[in-house]
Structure 1
């Protein structure tokens, strides 16, 4: 009788642990996909807020990484999942030069990018740490940028960052034809109030390795004519 009771207690404990994600680790496991977000620096800078180049100099005229963000299929997302796992530059020392090139900060005042990467890891990356660690998180984003190659995809379709305007359908079509998956296009407005190509969202599996079709898109929409500013 005693052994049956002990067994029942163990089963009850397992059931409780399985049904309640009270730990940070459980919270970190609970997401459905990543948004991989890249931004066009010309559109970031061509606003009333303007921008500041990083201390390493003006970035290349290419899309830069904004972040790799865990999300839920209902459109919500987890954040700041593990305050005990802060950004540690030593863990990504071999990636820093690539991050400076591909994941530059444009916020003012000018900085090295450490504050930007710290924010991205601590708000978003810690919510994926059960699947990928800190080094893998940043390496995954760098690999995804190469895989997507947004600027080449657009330029191959005749869509160039020359201040001209293009339709949303043409921009989305060019990217889907090249990448194979439907992007979400986010616009902002320049100092004259014109809609401009700002950010491109692609969706990624929970391992951070493969692009997938997005289960849900963010809210918001662009104007019918979208400017692609120079940088």
Structure 2
């Protein structure tokens, strides 16, 4: 074997080993969805996308690679910038299921770019696979339907444990629920964390649990018309 061939083989092996290391360089995903009315129902408020008010539904916040130590990596490949042309066939689903409610109004591109460059570049997935995996996990979880099946609908107040158990029963795995505050300082359901394996295809039990604002014993599940009086269903 010539020297040049040996060098090429060595380079190939190193690249392959590097790929294996990068593909296994985290332990699980947090798949995070946020309740759109709760995002808007704060003192900060929100701006609807240029496509109009989103459906009263959970929207994807992100798909985040994590370690069981509670640590994570960010912005792992600054050369791998977001390229909307790589997900052109997913845009319709993205606008529906991954809307941006930040101000000023936009088409979602800034939000998606941030999620890819901060989190997606720390996975072994390409851009299309990363966003498609998140969209498929949302469809698989089907949180709004799961809650409805448990008798939990927007515009009311519920026992926190009832909400958590409904999600666990419907999805099959324990969720992490985070809350925020409405302008009257009431606690409301804001985000639901589920965990997925490193392929981003299957839900798993969360190895560790993220912490946030304690939700308390009862939480609002607001609607976009939550300025009307809430009906209590504890």
Pick the TM interval, shorter chain.
0.7 to 0.9
- Cα distance in 1 for partners of 2:116, 2:168 equals 28
Q: Is the 8 A contact 1:27 1:81 kept in 2?
A: no
Runs of 4+ in 1 over 2 A off after TM superposition: 23-29
Distance in 2 (alpha carbons) for counterparts of 1:166 and 1:189: 15
Equivalent residue for 1:187, pick from 155, 165, 179: 179
Q: CA deviation at 1:104?
A: 0.2
Report what 1:117 is aligned to: 112
The count of corresponding residues between Structure 1 and Structure 2 is: 212
Match of 1:75 in 2: 70
In 1, distance between residues paired with 2:20 and 2:220?
43
What CA RMSD, in Å, does the superposition of the two structures yield over aligned residues?
Answer: 2.1
Residue aligning to 1:100:
95
Please list the CA deviations of residues 165-206 of structure 1 after superposition, one character each: whole Å capped at 9, or x if unmatched: 111110110011111000000000000000000000000000
| Residue 213 (structure 1) shift | 0.4
Match of 1:156 in 2: 149
**Selected match of 1:169 from 143, 161, 171:** 161
3-state SS, counterpart of residue 36 of structure 1 = strand
Aligned equivalent of 2:26, options 18, 25, 31: 31
1:133: how far off? 1.2
Please, what TM-score do these two structures have when normalized by structure 2?
0.86
Structure 1 residues without counterparts, runs of 5 or longer: 1-12
Structure 1 residues 1-231: aligned runs within 5 Å: 26=21, 29-128=24-123, 130=124, 132-162=125-155, 164-220=156-212, 221-231=214-224
In the superposition, the TM-score normalised over structure 1's length comes to 0.87
- Report the alpha carbon displacement of residue 225 of structure 1 after superposing the two structures with TM: 1.1
